[in-house]
Amino acid sequence: MSSDTTNSTAPETPATEQQETSFAETALKLGGKSADEARRTGAIDSADDQVEKLFQPQYQTANSPAHRAVWDRGIPVELFESNPLETPPEIRKVMDDSLEVVRGFRNSKTITDEKGKIRDEVLKALGEAGYWGLLVDKKYGGSGTPFRSFAPFLTQMAMIDPTLAGLASVHGCIGAVDPVSTFGNEEQKQRYLPKLASGERLSAFALTEPCAGSDLTALKTTARLDGDSYVLNGEKLFITNVVPGRTIGVVCLIDDVPAVLVVDLPDEENDQFQLRKYGLWALKHTYNQGIIFNNFRVPKENLLVPGKGNGLTIAYHGLNLGRISLCANAAGTMRLMMASMIPWVHFRETYGEPIAKRELVQRRLGKLAGMIVASDALVAWCSTLIDEGYRGEMECIIAKIFGSESQKEAAIELFMKTHGGRSFLHGHMFGDNVHEYLAPCIYEGEGEMLGMAFFKSLVKKHGTQFFEPIGKALHAAGIKKPNPLNPAHAWALKGVIAPYASWMMKEYMGGKPKPKFPQMPDNLKAHAQFAADHLQDMPLQISGTMRKHQLKLADRQCRMSYLSQNVQNLMTMLATALYAAKHENETVRAAADIACRDLKRKVLLTAPSDRYFRRVSEVGGMVAEGNFPGVDVPPDEIMMRYDK
């Protein structure tokens, strides 16, 4: 998707947009927050609104499957189903060639150099295979790959090398490819995309700063127009895939408005451009560095100008693709863990029996299989929505949080504990990569912070429709703690409370239609029904929380996070059950059953039953016998073998 753009020398915001006050800013002001905090939060909310306007109304967040599943009367089941796509042969060839390139380097143990970083030869060979151009339109030398093909391919690549899978996402989703493809004018596309597609110029995106992480309103990097170029000053931090010679998108302030400049970094550091180097436990096979700009000149024609919004609009647009990619990478990485665990549990014996027969170990394998299938399901579902034209913001947040948290739990609770002390040996997959397993909980937005962003998107329309008018009426009347039994309070609310009262009456009294599920195994259908029923119960819970805390809701972060996670778990259940129902493989279906049971217990806060333990152990036994599909990778070496 591309937006209408025009050549310009400075970002512009229409006057009508400048005068609008976002829902978040209004709520915070009414809640007594400082003008500065309200303004800053409002700027983020406004940027999000501008991203919404890039999409047709039927594909915006208020009409998304996640939003409708809660607020509509009835679940749009068909929108939670993933629709597989047969990858075109020419794209499949690029993918197969890319996989073969990396397998060759892996088998010869030459993927990384003496510093432990991905070799330039690997990056170049992947460029020749077409890897870096998968998400670039054919018109500009790429493959124009549908995301339904790209995302599961990343899972395949992650099973060979997770770092290279991650770099495809950095380059194509959150690097320069998506910003130029979506917001660039034709001249910018012609100038940049062919080189980005060939891999001649690999890319990154520079957003984070020493004082600006989740609070992007704290940006301090500036660009000042001087003749035919912008003069860039400031520092960026934690930028993945940045070395001299890269092409990066830089978020900066131009006349105090966020903007994005496409910057070609020079081949060597100089007085105007330096890299800040630091020790980082994660991302050890690629470069993650800071950037310091000191009067660095960028041609004025390198400014990206969105048709609506500003630089934050551009920054937010590519994040959803990156979040799906992260979940896809996690699905591949957890398969690597499984491939390592299976031979070990057959080799290792306790009291004369291989631990593959032990219930605790079987539970770990069964649970791991469930996490993998659920991650696959979320990747397939979100990719389908993206290809169909949905923004997918809420759905992609679900995928990111589930994938990253599952990988973390799998690494610590399942993988490490099964391998025991050997996990910490130099050369063991866990010990050598533990920070790689944990870091995705922070990439693309820290999980709980994203959970609150999910909640904000979920309640925004409801809050604007019902609570904002009530809040304004209370503020105008000087009422801080409304009491419906107080006649003065009732009088102040007389004109604004009726619509909300009518909505509540319908929720309490009106029945809701039964969801229409496709043909499904009974156990998966029961999970889908549970998820649907509880999602349709959420409006009263969520609205009740909003009513209870009113203008102080912004300070109730723990409550928002809890409700958000419950909704996410229910939607993951629904997508997983529908996904697995289409699979013929019995182990996949059984693993999905385990994933849904685990999610259900989280929602209900109940203890596992003996029946659950029997079932998860049974699934773990199936996995131990090699019945889980897609784990076709050579197992890592069993370290410190011993004679039996």
CA end-to-end span of the chain, whole Å? 60
Between 34 and 562, residue with greater pLDDT: 562
- DSSP state, 257? E
Give the integer Cα–Cα distance in Å for 212 and 209. 5
Q: Which residue has the tokens 């960028």?
A: 298
Lowest mean pLDDT among 107-111, 168-172, 551-555, 587-591: 551-555
**pLDDT tens digit string along 492-535?**
888 899 999 999 999 998 888 999 999 999 999 999 999 999 99
Tell me whether residue 349 is exposed, middle or buried, using C-beta atoms within 10 angstroms of its C-beta: 0 to 12, 13 to 18, 19 or more: middle
pLDDT of residue 15: 35
Lowest mean pLDDT among 18-27, 140-149, 370-379: 18-27
DSSP-assigned states of every residue in 533-589: HHHHHHHHHHHHHHHHHGGGGGG-HHHHHHHHHHHHHHHHHHHHHHHHHT---HHHH
Give the integer Cα–Cα distance in Å for 113 and 110. 7
Helices marked H in 2-88 — which ranges?
A: 15-19, 23-30, 35-52, 65-71
Between 16 and 244, residue with greater pLDDT: 244
- Secondary structure of residue 224 in the 3-state scheme: strand
Lowest mean pLDDT among 155-159, 308-312, 614-618, 627-631: 308-312
Give the integer Cα–Cα distance in Å for 250 and 235. 10
Give the integer Cα–Cα distance in Å for 124 and 597. 45
Residues sharing a CB contact under 8 Å with residue 481, sequence separation 6 or more, in sequence order: none
- Dihedral of the alpha carbons of 396, 398, 401, 406, in degrees to the nearest 10: -120
Most distant CA pair in the chain, distance: 85
Helices marked H in 132-185 — which ranges?
A: 147-158, 162-169, 177-183
pLDDT band at 490 (very low <50, low <70, confident <90, very high): confident
Angle at 440 between CA 435 and CA 446, to 5 degrees: 120
Is a pLDDT exceeding 70 seen at residue 238?
yes
Give the integer Cα–Cα distance in Å for 320 and 399. 10
Give the integer Cα–Cα distance in Å for 486 and 118. 69
pLDDT of residue 192: 98
**pLDDT tens digit string along 266-283?**
999 999 999 999 999 999
pLDDT band at 21 (very low <50, low <70, confident <90, very high): low
- Secondary structure of residue 261 in the 3-state scheme: strand
- Contact between 405 and 441 (Cβ < 8 Å): yes
Lowest mean pLDDT among 400-404, 512-516, 547-551, 598-602: 547-551
pLDDT of residue 141: 98
pLDDT of residue 29: 67
pLDDT of residue 30: 63
Q: Which two tokens stand for residue 99?
A: 């996989």
**pLDDT tens digit string along 123-139?**
999 999 999 999 999 99
Residues sharing a CB contact under 8 Å with residue 212, sequence separation 6 or more, in sequence order: 218, 219, 220
Is a pLDDT exceeding 50 seen at residue 334?
yes
Give the integer Cα–Cα distance in Å for 1 and 178. 10
Residues sharing a CB contact under 8 Å with residue 423, sequence separation 6 or more, in sequence order: 415, 416, 430, 431
Q: What is the pTM of this model?
A: 0.93
Is a pLDDT exceeding 50 seen at residue 5?
no
Residues sharing a CB contact under 8 Å with residue 211, sequence separation 6 or more, in sequence order: 218, 220
Helices marked H in 463-521 — which ranges?
A: 468-477, 487-492, 497-509
Q: Which two tokens stand for residue 421?
A: 């002390």
Is a pLDDT exceeding 50 seen at residue 10?
no
Is a pLDDT exceeding 60 seen at residue 9?
no
Q: Which residue has the tokens 């009530």?
A: 470
Give the integer Cα–Cα distance in Å for 119 and 273. 24
Q: Tell me the chain's radius of gyration from C-alpha atoms.
A: 26
Residue closest to 67 by CA, chosen among 568, 524, 448 = 568
Residue closest to 585 by CA, chosen among 623, 614, 612, 553 = 623
pLDDT of residue 568: 98
Tell me whether residue 605 is exposed, middle or buried, using C-beta atoms within 10 angstroms of its C-beta: 0 to 12, 13 to 18, 19 or more: exposed
- Secondary structure of residue 362 in the 3-state scheme: helix
- Contact between 603 and 534 (Cβ < 8 Å): yes
- C-alpha count within 13 angstroms, C-beta hemisphere, residue 229: 9
User: What's the mean pLDDT when you consider all of the chain?
Assistant: 92
Q: Which two tokens stand for residue 31?
A: 């809640």
Q: Which two tokens stand for residue 477?
A: 């009347």
Q: Which residue has the tokens 């491939």?
A: 339
Angle at 466 between CA 35 and CA 320, to 5 degrees: 70
- DSSP state, 486? S
* Pairing of the two strands 203-206 and 247-254: parallel
For residues 15-33, average pLDDT: 59
Count of CB atoms situated within 10 Å of the CB of 246: 21
Give the integer Cα–Cα distance in Å for 194 and 142. 7
Residue closest to 595 by CA, chosen among 259, 369, 428, 435 = 369
Between 393 and 9, residue with greater pLDDT: 393
Is a pLDDT exceeding 50 seen at residue 175?
yes
Between 634 and 92, residue with greater pLDDT: 92
Count of CB atoms situated within 10 Å of the CB of 489: 17
Q: Which residues partner with 276 through β-bridges? A: 290
pLDDT band at 20 (very low <50, low <70, confident <90, very high): low
- Dihedral of the alpha carbons of 632, 636, 642, 643, in degrees to the nearest 10: 30
pLDDT band at 484 (very low <50, low <70, confident <90, very high): confident
pLDDT of residue 480: 75
- DSSP state, 455? H
